[in-house]
Amino acid sequence: MIDGEKAWEAFTRRDRAFDGHFVIGVLTTGIYCRPSCAARQPRRENVRFFANGAEARDAGLRACKRCRPDEVSRDEAAVLAAIDEIKAIAGDLGGLPQLAELAQAVGYSPSHFQRVFARATGLSPAAYARALREERAREALSAGGSVTEAIYEAGFEAPSRFYDSLDGKLGMAPSAWARGGEGVTISWAVVTTTLGPMLVAATAKGVCRLSFREGRDELAARFPNAELAQGGTGFAALLQRVIDAVEHPAVSSDIPLDVRGTAFQERVWAELRKIPPGETRSYAEIAAAAGKPKAVRAAGSANGANNVAVLIPCHRVVRSDGSLGGYAYGLDIKRELLAREARR
């Protein structure tokens, strides 16, 4: 069922996040549009909402020539096909796909497909391929195999290219990451909280991991060659601050963090930390605040890539319809965090 009022609100603000979820039929003109259509908006009483273009056509309406609502599903299919091709190229050849080749394969011009792909993922096809290649190299390195072999198999022309690609994306040096955290000391503890067992881990710079229902094994999998030091005098004070921030989220936390991501991920995380306790934002609002209003899915992915739960409050992001959406540690924890913040 389509909530008419919420659909109308999305239409009045031309919210691209709803493109593909429904279409708007304008009875006075006999056309139907996508929610983000830039055409002059009609009166509310002249509007009907349909689940898709087929329903609108059955009602005697025709597609808008300005916003082309039927191309939404085609765009999604093209992006998914391109992602499959990128994965195949990166896996078989270790190379970066050419934009022109991807666009030709899905029947788009290169410039148009670049926009379609970036709108859906928040990245250009080339940037997506590079991110995939880096992730594969990280996984291979964490598995404890040969560093050089892992880097070349992931598609990098030389180890230096891999190190350059990671520069500034981690709290530790790229060389330390390549050796699974070798040379880095990470203090950690698992403590009992009202939300369940909570893992807190920190480098000398700040908290690098906060999660629920995880322990030493999960931390060691992320940094197999790091020195994991349970507890510690210097760590105790930081740990208590983290516990207080989780149990009593009355104010924004200034606890130091040691987290790095892509430029877009870091913008999203910065926007998450601006959300006051007791309030929520939609994925679309976060994408817009991060400077990429069309990259709603990418904002959701950046939200999910957050390694420091609660301190970077990804639990304060909900769907545009007000439902909770997902949460890495279960909706019960997300619901409780939001409830206790609302009470305060």
Give catalytic status of residue 33 as yes or no.
yes
Q: How far apart are the first and last CA of the chain?
A: 35
Given a contact cutoff of 8 angstroms between Cβ atoms, the answer to whether 278 and 344 are in contact is: yes
**What distance in Å separates the CA atoms of residue 183 and residue 151, rounded to the nearest whole number?**
20
Task: State the DSSP code for 41.
Answer: P
Q: CA dist 51 to 45, 212, 270, 280, Å?
A: 18, 38, 35, 27
Question: How far is the C-alpha of 267 from the C-alpha of 261, rounded, in Å?
Answer: 9
Q: Which of 33, 37, 64, 208 is catalytic?
A: 33
Catalytic residue among 64, 67, 208, 314: 314
Those residues whose C-beta lies under 8 Å from the C-beta of residue 1, and which sit 6 or more positions away, are none
**How far apart (Å, rounded) are the C-alpha atoms in residues 42 and 1?**
22
* DSSP string of 301-313, one letter each residue: HHHHT-SBTTTS-
Active-site residue flag, 314: yes
- The residues, any chain, with a CB within 8 Å of residue 201's CB and separated by 6 or more, are 186, 187, 188, 207, 208, 209, 210, 219
Number of Cβ within 10 Å of residue 199's Cβ equals 19
Locate all alpha helices (DSSP H) within 107-170, ordered by sequence.
110-121, 125-142, 147-153, 159-166
Rg of the chain (C-alpha set): 23
Active-site residues, by number, are: 33, 314
